[in-house]
């Protein structure tokens, strides 16, 4: 990131997957095949029953899964060997696994799945940022001791592979997404537009609209018109 850029996520997806060329960012073999949802429902059935996460979260996850599959389809177009192409085609036939963890326990698996970094991470808990230090809640309980983003990134360094996308529809999500993107382990991230949203579903709707917009990513590293000032 250049010194004159405002720190924050929300980057444009290009035809390969993100604002910069995929080949410049990662090798497909580095990206896992799992979507991890943390600090929310225990499973998909519980999500379906939830008044808080139901429709918006399921649509957001579906949108990410669709973009993930599109990335697989477009990756390395016209540049892969026959062996690489066959491997990519086999992978394109497999849907990413959806895994739920109500609590992020960094003393156990944390965010890793069988020792690997998930392809996509959706955090439905809480976020905080103060004096330039961002953190997230390990669960949906905002009274829990928050985990500094720096500790999350240190944890991810111990896993194999890279994360394709992180979704933070939480308080101070944009600052958190910006901090996450500083890691070589995370390709791109999106954080909530509002600094202190009342409901996570509002930000999930904002993400869904943003991901489908023809002007996708125009606000990369710049404040959105409707962003709130630091409280």
pLDDT tens, 78-135?
Answer: 777 788 778 878 888 888 899 999 999 999 999 999 999 999 999 999 999 999 999 9
Share of the chain above pLDDT 70, in %: 76
pLDDT value at residue 218: 40
pLDDT value at residue 80: 77
C-alpha distances in Å from residue 140, one per residue of 3, 58, 124: 35, 17, 7
Contacts of residue 166, Cβ cutoff 8 Å, sequence gap at least 6 = 9, 120, 121, 122, 123, 177, 180, 186, 188, 189, 190
The more confident residue out of 203 and 151 is 151
Q: In terms of pTM, does the model score above 0.95?
A: no
What's the number of CA atoms in the CB half-sphere (13 Å) around residue 125?
28
Residue listed under structure tokens 């194999």: 160
Q: 108 and 159 in contact (C-beta within 8 Å)?
A: no
């Amino acid at each position: 990131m250049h010194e004159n850029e405002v720190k924050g996520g929300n980057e444009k997806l290009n035809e390969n997957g993100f604002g910069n060329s995929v080949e410049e960012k990662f090798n497909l073999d580095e990206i896992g095949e799992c979507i991890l949802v943390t600090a929310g429902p225990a499973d998909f059935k519980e999500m379906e029953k939830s008044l808080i996460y139901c429709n918006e979260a399921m649509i957001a996850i579906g949108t990410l899964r669709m973009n993930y599959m599109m990335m697989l389809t477009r990756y390395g177009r016209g540049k892969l060997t026959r062996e690489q192409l066959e491997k990519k085609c086999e992978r394109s036939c497999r849907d990413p696994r959806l895994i739920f963890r109500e609590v992020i326990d960094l003393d156990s698996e944390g965010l890793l799945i069988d020792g690997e970094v998930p392809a996509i991470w959706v955090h439905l808990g809480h976020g905080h940022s103060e004096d330039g230090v961002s953190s997230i809640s390990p669960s949906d309980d905002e009274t829990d001791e928050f985990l500094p983003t720096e500790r999350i990134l240190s944890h991810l360094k111990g896993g194999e592979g890279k994360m394709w996308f992180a979704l933070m529809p939480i308080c101070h999500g944009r600052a958190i997404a910006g901090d996450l993107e500083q890691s070589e382990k995370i390709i791109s991230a999106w954080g909530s537009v509002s600094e202190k949203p009342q409901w996570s579903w509002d930000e999930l709707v904002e993400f869904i609209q943003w991901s489908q917009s023809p002007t996708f990513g125009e606000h990369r590293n710049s404040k959105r018109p409707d962003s709130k000032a630091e409280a």
